[in-house]
Amino acid sequence: MVYIKFVVRIHMYSIQRQQIDKKYKCILRGYKYMRGLSMRKISLITRIFLCLILGISIGLICGNNDIDFPVRILATFSGLFGNFLSFVIPLIIIGFIVPGIACLGGKSGKGLIITTVIAYISTIGAGFAAYLIGSNILPRFINGSVLLGEGGKEIQPYFSIEIPVIMSVMSALVLAFILGIGLSKIKNSAMLKMVGEFNSIVLMIVTKVLIPLVPIYIGCVFAKLSYSGEIFNTLKSFGLVYVILFSLQLAYILLQYCIAGAVKSENPFKLIKNMIPSYMTAVGTQSSAATIPVTLACVKKNNVSEEVLDFVVPLGATIHLAGDTITLVLTSMAVMYMNGQVPTFGMIMPFILMLGVTMIAAPGVPGGGVMAALGLLESMLGFGTLEKPLMIALHAAQDSFGTATNVTGDGAIAILVDYIINRKNNKSKSKDTIVA
């Protein structure tokens, strides 16, 4: 009898143990699923969109119910992060521009010079086209003082911490150009290695600190805008800007290939058709560097010599950012009009010229272009803690199409470089034949 009870207890214990094991396995599977879910990468634009919706919702709810402490908490964070961002901007300029210019200047060859000149002209042309379109269209649809006008509710942070910058943005730009050009002339420079390590530190700050926190920063700013009651006018103006922006990017691609087609004596629409896979890949990857293999295959279909496309396409992915330039110029003008300012040619053109150089050093990460341009926006256009996060949000929302415009334009540049180099080679060969 005792034996039977003992066997029954053992059997019951084994059944309970199996049930516990099943529950444990279910919990473990759930934990692994949630962990895998949290580890999945969410794109920057998705994070910005979620934080933007959350910020607008908090601002509207608090504004309608006269509750200010949640918005004041968000305003405190945005103020602290904005001060930190202002401190980091000179470091970003030095960390990106110095090695970019030094490494670019260390290379040699006519192909480098020709590609760099054409890429810079294309970038400047894109900015100038954006200014012409923006100055003629934006004032008709955007009213002044859309951003936190005098009639909106003011919100103050609980506290603020001032972080003095180590140098002004313009001083950082001048120092970066001096060091970059100087180091390009020195062979086996130990300082260049140190600058490269500093670039890695700054890039780590951008990718590990700034970009992850930027969506929260933008959400805080939009919470203040919605609390003040100005959010719907702002979003309406943004929608118009995107319509103009996407149209201008497509028109600029067509212009580039009309020029390339005229030089190559081929149908520009056929050349563009061959580049569609590269465009679509860039839309998906948001990275010019990640699209290089597809871009190489597409450019090869346009009958560009391999020695030219193997050099021009990777270089163009680094130095040719016409799409980003169109975005930054057009959106910065829109933000200025929203603030009641009038962007003049004398104000915007120096910004475009400097932007063409700064874009060479932009990091190849989502949002890297606008991060590299924040210093210029602050020093040359006077953008502050309200305008800079708006620029980041505007840029991030179209980053895929801006990147696609960049890489598609690389194909047109490759055609022009191939024509110039092969024409010189053909002339030299013909001269040698005549002499012989």
- Calculate what percentage of the chain has a pLDDT beyond 90: 12
Q: Is the pLDDT of residue 328 over 60?
A: yes
Reported pTM: 0.70
Q: Is the pLDDT of residue 436 over 50?
A: no
Using the CB atoms, write b or e for 326-339: b if 16+ within 10 Å.
Answer: bbbbbbbbbbbbbb
Please state, in angstroms and as integers, the Cα–Cα distance from residue 167 to each residue in 93, 172, 386, following that order.
Answer: 11, 7, 21
In this predicted model, which residue has the larger pLDDT, 290 or 156?
A: 156
Where is average pLDDT lowest: 17-31, 50-64, 241-255, 388-402? 17-31
Q: What's residue 251's pLDDT? A: 93
Q: Domains along the chain?
A: 44-425 (1.10.3860)
For residue range 19-46, list pLDDT tens digits in order: 545 444 443 444 344 344 343 467 766 7
Q: Which residue has the higher pLDDT, 285 or 196?
A: 196
- Using the 8-state DSSP alphabet, how is residue 153 labeled? P
- Cα→Cα distances 201→82, 96, 178, 287, Å: 20, 10, 21, 21
**What is the identity of the amino acid at 80?**
L
- What's the CA gap between 58 and 71, in Å, rounded? 7
What does the pLDDT average to over 192-198? Answer: 87
Q: Per-residue pLDDT for 411 more than 60?
A: yes
End-to-end CA distance of the chain: 117
Question: How far apart, in whole angstroms, are the C-alpha atoms of residue 180 and residue 337?
Answer: 35
